[in-house]
Chain A
Amino acid sequence: MKRLIDNIARYVLTVSGFTTSVVILLIIGFLFKEAVGLFNNPIVEDGYVLALNKENDVKRLSAQQIKNIFDEEITNWKEVGGKDMPITVFRLEDLDKHYTEAELGAEYEYAGDKIAEQVHQTPGIVAYVPDVLMKGQKDIHYIENQDIPVKDVLLGNEWFPTATPSPIFGILPLISGTLWVSFFAILIALPFGLAISIYLAEVANEKTRKFLKPIIELLNGIPSVVYGFFGLAVIVPFLQQTFNLPVGESGLAGSLVLAIMALPTIITVGEDAMRSCPRSMREASLALGATQWQTIYKVVIPFSISGITSGIVLGIGRAIGETMAVLMVTGNAAVMPHSILEPLRTIPATIAAELGEAPAGGAHYQSLFLLGVILFFITLIINSCVEIVSSRNKFKK
């Protein structure tokens, strides 16, 4: 009978462990599959073409060039390697300006001919039109469509996911924004967190600790959107006045909010680790004539270092992955941060703000999955670093 129960237990544990691992692997696989799909998308939105006059000999344009042309930053074909003639931008909506609805037909059946007419008439035209309309049109030169290059995404420093005709997915500003905010958050949270956990574990008397600890743990239970609102209404104006900034929404506001949010984790885990230091070691140190402070930093902290580091890592994890609070206070400007007092944009905030209306399966949607994968790698790297650090510490002991 006992053996039967034993076998059943073993079987249940194996099955549940196995399925959980498989599910986790599948989730990661799904993430990667969606993310890699981004690089199979053409730079000009799917289903559309850029049509040129047949006299024009420009063959290829990068996403950046297309954006600048349609923003009228580039106004001459000479600048993108063509002949010296001005660029005329033409969008599908411009059809209404040139033709009446009757001329275009109820089902847009004549729209293709009319677009072709425009393209033939204007030598410097670049027309951004659906490819179904252009089927069967003659004497029109198209820009070669290429897949989104990996280099432009990973090293690009502009994020315009909804720009037409050619969205730009440079993720560098988002990665640097995330790391920048998290770095400062930990820089702020670490000294305070350590100080409080040492105080709670070693200095405070039983009564104070029993009073303080639940309050600190309560901080953990406050929803992040409340922190975000607090940040927007209190921290942002405060920073604006203190540093006399033109704009209060900044990386520092995000770091401060994140630091407050990471504190309870660092404190609780750190304190637990320090309190698990055996009484015998502490007393031995005191008996040898060490002062309380000497005992803390020579005995207690080295003993509990792996617990303290895991607290810090959990804190960093919370900071990097935090979405709502950061979304509300950092200003979300997708630019490379030069100082912590400027607005910036983080990866989780971008995903949260944009996934809602990104058409499923489109390039924008897949680019958000790519951001998820990158976030996954950042956390993975941090976790492995800690693993290495703590294993080395064990070895020393």
Chain B
Amino acid sequence: MKKCVSFFLGACCMCLPGILMAQRIKGSDTVLPLTQELSEMYMNQNPSATVTVTGGGSGVGISALLDGTTDLAMASRKIKFSEKMKMKQSKHEPCEYIVAYDALAVIVNPQNPVKQLTREQLEGIFRGKITNWKEVGGEDARIVVYSRETSSGTYEFFKESVLHNKNYMSSVLSMPATGAIIQSVRQTKGAIGYVGLAYLNPYVKAIAVSYDQGKHYVYPSVESATRKEYPIVRPLYYYYDKQNEKNVMPFLNFTTSKEGQAKTLDLGFIPR
């Protein structure tokens, strides 16, 4: 069977000069560490395969798929309607494959007594309607709101899920990287921010979130996210061209194999 597959792949390569046995994966920086680990494991198991992984962001990956300069596009957001239409116009069909899930944790300074917030309160805070911690049961201190840069997929997802597509206030502090948000929240008493679950560390405090007006608060963890209780969870996608399906399927199947999923969990992502 294996021989058959490799023969087929070989035949594919003959048909498409320039594309050797290599698979090119490009896109979101959130999915990048996961893909790198998985591709290394995959290459160890299949010495004949080569996988090259590059980052650049979800948008970059999808536009590379559109140009045909990548086989798989990693994305931390769903493909946009306009991107899908563009693909269809050039007679390609984008296919979606969920590789894992990623949870976003809302973090505050460890000295902050606030333990839980509802989605409505979070929306108020990030939109600048709530500006003092005492309005949500904390001390009398100004709320300092940290966010990611506008280009980040995390920024878009948080906006969609927590702010219901409304805009952040304009005086939100935007940080270039997740590490910078953690550093700032750690040293600023009134700070609030959001990071991927994998980045949580003891220097910042994650808070429980409620999406049902305060009936149930759920603390972010891999377990609660796997049980689908924690609400701020987003799927991470791979996109590929339908015509190219046979070429990419072995790798995609590997990512959802037992070892692949174990590695996913290991890296702090939630297996699908």
Contacts and interface: CB of A to CB of B under 8 A. Distances in A.
A35 interface: no
A246 B171 contact: no
Contact of B187 (A158, A236, A345, A356): A236
A340 to B, nearest CB: 16
B167 A333 contact: no
A331 B187 contact: no
A38 B175 CA distance: 26
A72 B120 CA distance: 14
A7 to B, nearest CB: 48
B166 A159 contact: no
A333 B63 contact: no
B187 A240 contact: yes
B170 A334 contact: yes
B170 A159 contact: yes
Given A130-B85, A249-B184, A328-B180, A333 B170 contact: yes
Interface stretch (A145-153, A160-168, A269-277, A293-301): A160-168
A327 interface: yes
B163 to A, nearest CB: 9
Contact of B151 (A48, A160, A343, A354): A354
A130 B144 contact: no
Looking at A158, A232, A332, the one whose CB has the most chain B CB atoms below 10 A away is: A332
Contact of A353 (B58, B170, B176): B176
A247 B173 contact: yes
Interface string A52-75: 000000000000000100111000
Interface of B: 56-60, 63, 81-82, 85, 88, 127, 141-142, 144, 149-152, 155-156, 165-167, 170-176, 180, 183-184, 187-191
Contacts of B174: 331-333, 345, 353
Given A236-B187, A240-B187, A333-B173, A353 B144 contact: no
A251 interface: no
22 contacts: A71-B127, A107-B88, A160-B167, A161-B150, A162-B151, A173-B170, A232-B180, A240-B187, A246-B141, A247-B190, A249-B173, A249-B184, A327-B176, A333-B170, A345-B174, A353-B149, A353-B151, A357-B59, A357-B151, A358-B151, A359-B59, A359-B63
Nearest to A158: B170
A91 interface: yes
Contacts of A158: 170
A92 B84 CA distance: 14
A47 B59 contact: no
B191 A247 contact: yes
Contacts of B184: 232, 236, 248-249
Contact of B175 (A92, A240, A248, A332): A332
A286 interface: no
A237 interface: yes
A237 B141 contact: no
B30 to A, nearest CB: 12
Nearest to B78: A93
Contact of A237 (B150, B151, B187): B187
B187 to A, nearest CB: 5
Looking at B142, B150, B175, B180, the one whose CB has the most chain A CB atoms below 10 A away is: B150
What 4 pairs between A and B have smallest CB-CB spacing? Answer: A357-B151, A331-B173, A357-B57, A246-B142
Contacts of A354: 149-151
Contacts of B190: 246-247
A72 B156 CA distance: 18
A288 interface: no
Nearest to B84: A108
A335 B128 CA distance: 13
A23 interface: no
Contacts of B85: 47, 130, 132
A266 B183 CA distance: 32
B69 to A, nearest CB: 13
A248 B188 contact: yes
Contacts of A246: 141-142, 144, 188-190
Contacts of A327: 176
A92 B81 contact: yes
A241 B127 CA distance: 27
Contact of B170 (A240, A328, A335, A360): A335
B187 A130 contact: no
Contacts of A140: none
Nearest to B186: A237
Given A132-B85, A357-B60, A247 B176 contact: no
